[in-house]
Structures are given as C-alpha cells and as structure tokens.
Amino acid sequence: MTRGQIIIITLLSIIACALILVLGYFTYRIYQSFATRPLGPALPFAGQTMPPLWTPTPGSESTPAGLVTLAPMVNEATTIPSAVCGGPDIMNILVVGADTRRDNYIYGLADAIRILRVDFVTPKVSILEFPRDLWVEIPHISDNLNGQNHEKLNQAYLYGQPGFRYWDNPSGGAGLLSLTLNLNFGAQIDHYIVVNMRTFVNIVNAVGGITVNIPDIEASNNTGLLIGDHDLDGEEALKVVRNRQGGTFERADNQNLVLCALREKITKPKVITQIPGLIESFEDNVLTDFTPEQFAQLACLGTKLPPQNIVFASFPVELFKPTREFDPVFDKRIYILDADFDIMRDYVMRFQNGSWPKPSIALPTATYFEEEKTLICQ
C-alpha cells in the first residue's frame, strides 16, 4: 500500500467517525426531544404552597376525632438513599376515571378520584381515594354560575373540560380538579392521568384480563361476585368498579380491588415487556402531561416494587356525614358528603409527607386495616 493510499484511508476513516458522531448526536437530540416532550398540557400551579392546616386552640386538651398529631422529627446523620429508575424522589399524580364511554374527553364527571404518591427512593406507591360527593369550593366557575362557587368535587373536572370550559387553561378538567384539591385539602400534585371508561376496558383487555379476589362476604355483597377468584375481561371489570350496590365508600373499595388485580397483572414479567407498546397504543386515548421518559421511569419502578409496598388508603368513614345541600344549578337539594376539611387536610399532609398510611404488619391479599381503611396488595 502506498503512502498516498494510507493517507486517503486515514482521512476517510476520520470523516466516517465524524459522521457517526454527528449522526449519533442528532439521533440523541431527537430522542431526547421525544422522550422529554409532555403528551399533554402541564398543570397550572407549579410552586403553589399548601393552605394553612388546622392548629389546636392554645391550651386545648382535646384533638378532633381522626386527627393525629405527628411526633417531632429527629435528625440523624444517615446515608440518604438515592432514587431508582432515574425518577425524582417523590412524584404526586392525580388519577381520574371519567364516566364517559366515548372516545373523547369533551364532557364527563370524575367518577373516580385518586392521588398517587410515588416514592422512587423506598420504593413505594401509596394511593389515596377522595369521595366524589364532597361539597367543595371550585375556583374559576362563579362567573359562569351566577356567583356560585361551590359544587360536588367530581364536577370540578367536568367544568374544566372543553364542553363547559369554565376556565381558560389547556390542562382542562384535570387542571381545575387539581386546583380544587389544592384549595380545599392542600393537595400538591405534579402530574395527572385521565382515563375514560372505554379506555379502561381496553387497558384491561390489552393485558389479557384480570383476576379479582373477593376475600369475604362484605366484598361479595358490594361487588355482586361470589367469594374467591374471578377472571374478568374489561367490560366485567368496569361493572365491578361502577357497582354502587353498597354505597359510595363500598364502590371505592371495589375500585381498589380491581386496581390491585390490574397491578398484579401488569407487573408480571410477560406483560412488563409489553408496557412500551401499551403506552404507545393508548397515547391518544389517555389525557396526561407525562413524558414518554416519565412513563418509562414508572414502568421501571413497577419491576422493583415489593407487593406490600403498594398501599390503597381511604379517609376514615367516620369523617363523613351524608346530608343534602341546595344547589342553585339544579334548583333542588342534592345528596352530598359533609366533612371537616381541616381534619382532611391533616390526613393529606401526612399522606404526602409519607407518614400515613404506614402499615406495620403484613396482611393477606386485599385485606383492610379496620381503623383507617388501608388496603395492601399482596
């Protein structure tokens, strides 16, 4: 090989390496642009602070029922573990089940309302259910309701959707519901996911159906299913989560049983490999401000979660009193749940700082703590 040929080959090699580097750089930039691009509008209130919490009257010796006073925190020099899967330490997610069967999200009430506290350090997922019939202050609606600013919690989502659009923000019903939860209960929410009934059915079917365990006669009465295991497809699972036979709180219990079953199915090795495809197939059928990268972080976390670290929590039933409130919109007295919001704010504060719920013993599959209605999926 002549000296000239060696020089030419060397130059061509350098050019090829440079092209590979440039191509790799632009490919990475394109991937980053896609992976970090939110799939929907962000929530509107980043940086909001929690409203003042209930504080006891000086000299008072009593504490309202259900309100737990936290012990002082002790600071010790310890090694702080890092978050797994590239996620943040904590992520709070609003999950809404909308009650529309159509393929769009123009209308619909919030049929199910949950806040997920995702702990990437422990790792752990805690899920708190909010009753939909709470009578709450909803911001940005009074101009459209002749000065009225209170309605049921589930209507906050409806009024923010394009069909009503009682406030002008791209985040729609999820954003207005997030603001309402923050205003009334101090909830701090980072992201949202909204699923309508048709998409829920499709998700259950996409993972091959679920197996729901009915542990006792109470659950059997509430769901209409016999005690034991039941293999359900999407439509059958939807009937269970919408069953109101036992009442508002019993329906929430039904939803938690189904979510436990769905969690068990999704975390199976065979299904985990299908998660990217599932995300892509439902991308246009779910409202969310997540990025593909954040979905990947959650999918990764699912492979590292011990079953006992997935906990469903509900406020104590004793906090709520069924009553009726005159609603000028419907021009009649409607059914609502009355509650002490100061006590609820305290529960929300403890939920979001990770001090509640905190089970100390392992329980069988889908069994509740009697005192605070805490369900552990195992």
Structural domain contains residue 214? yes
Structural domain contains residue 47? no
Among candidate residues 168, 162, 161, the one with its CA nearest the CA of residue 143: 168
Asked if 189 and 183 touch (Cβ cutoff 8 Å), the reply is: no
pLDDT in tens, 177-190: 999 999 999 999 99
pLDDT in tens, 329-342: 889 999 999 999 99
Taking residues 249-257, what's their average pLDDT? 82
Secondary-structure percent of the chain, ordered helix, strand, coil, rounded to 5: 40, 20, 40
Structural domain contains residue 58? no
Structural domain contains residue 57? no
79: CB partners within 8 A, 6+ apart: none
Domain span at residue 131 reads 83-376
Among candidate residues 100, 97, 161, 93, the one with its CA nearest the CA of residue 127: 93
Structural domain contains residue 318? yes
Structural domains of the chain, count = 1
* 117, amino acid identity: R
Alpha carbons 162 and 171: distance in angstroms, whole number: 10
More confident residue, 7 or 234: 234
Most confident of the ranges 3-7, 96-100, 215-219, 357-361: 96-100
Structural domain contains residue 92? yes
The confidence band for 26, taking pLDDT boundaries of 50, 70 and 90, is very low
CATH of the domain at 209: 3.40.630.190
Structural domain contains residue 154? yes
Structural domain contains residue 7? no
Alpha carbons 45 and 43: distance in angstroms, whole number: 6
Check residue 226 and give its pLDDT: 84
Instruction: Give Cα separations from 90 to 32, 39, 139, 205 (angstroms).
Output: 22, 20, 27, 30
3-state secondary structure of 96: strand
